[in-house]
Chain A
């Protein structure tokens, strides 16, 4: 099954989803297509006008462009997903390397899809890690 992971670039979630036999939907997979397709109009990262329009499907025009741009990548992945795993409070999703508003919008989009989903907390101790991995394992094994 195709499982969307949030944060969409998480090493931990990507590895766990693959380990338990499912296909993770991640930023890396979505970007790969963009950065390796030959595109003469918009080097170096091949962001085109269509991408900007795609973002509008998920967030209104008044939403900051950074959020809309991120959602142009993440939104189609959420649409494609058959299940989702959300990891709450990852320390790197805040500040200069993350975008809290995108995360909130993304959670809203996932919940709106009404697909099987699980929310876990980013582990800070061994006990929390045991709970997190146990829950994810149970969830992924339960997906048909």
Chain B
């Protein structure tokens, strides 16, 4: 595989009105010579780097803050990873967790676009042992 080939995950945030089906159809409609596969979280695209980037640029216009993307190391349908060939998918729990967090990131991007100045929220401190002992004594 040449260095110019890129495989990319296009991930749609769970609160987006765009569906993975919509994303896949949209990319097909661009008529670029790249491969597209619809997935549960969005789509995987593979092809020449510049074409994949072009597709991403276009698809992002559908919902700019809720469509995220990263590259993938393994090529699409690789025997070592593809579930159709009983391959393992070790990165999925991580992807799933970050997918759940994407609505928060979308809110962060909206806030950054509007140039809002945000004060850092106070972090909850751990309960001191003395306090805990006091609570235990009160209860018992």
Contact = CB atoms under 8 A, between A and B. Distances in A.
A134 B68 contact: no
Given A14-B70, A26-B70, A125-B104, A35 B78 contact: yes
Interface stretch (A4-12, A57-65, A103-111): A4-12
Contacts of B80: 35, 44-45
Nearest to A121: B123
A80 interface: no
B120 to A, nearest CB: 5
Contacts, number: 108
A28 B120 contact: no
Interface residues of A, number: 40
B13 to A, nearest CB: 11
Contacts of B90: 97
Instruction: State which size class the interface on B falls in.
Output: 35 or more
Nearest to B80: A44
A30 B95 CA distance: 18
B105 A133 contact: yes
Chief secondary structure at chain B's binding surface: mixed
A28 B70 contact: yes
Contacts of B73: 27-32, 34-35
Contact of B93 (A32, A92, A129): A92
A7 B108 CA distance: 19
A131 interface: yes
Interface stretch (B19-27, B31-39, B109-117, B126-134): B109-117
Interface in B40-95: 68-75, 78, 80, 90-91, 93-95
Contacts of A16: 105
Nearest to A28: B73
A144 interface: no
9 contacts: A12-B102, A28-B73, A29-B71, A36-B1, A125-B104, A130-B108, A130-B112, A134-B108, A134-B117
Closest 6 CB pairs of A and B: A133-B108, A31-B73, A129-B104, A129-B108, A14-B70, A15-B68
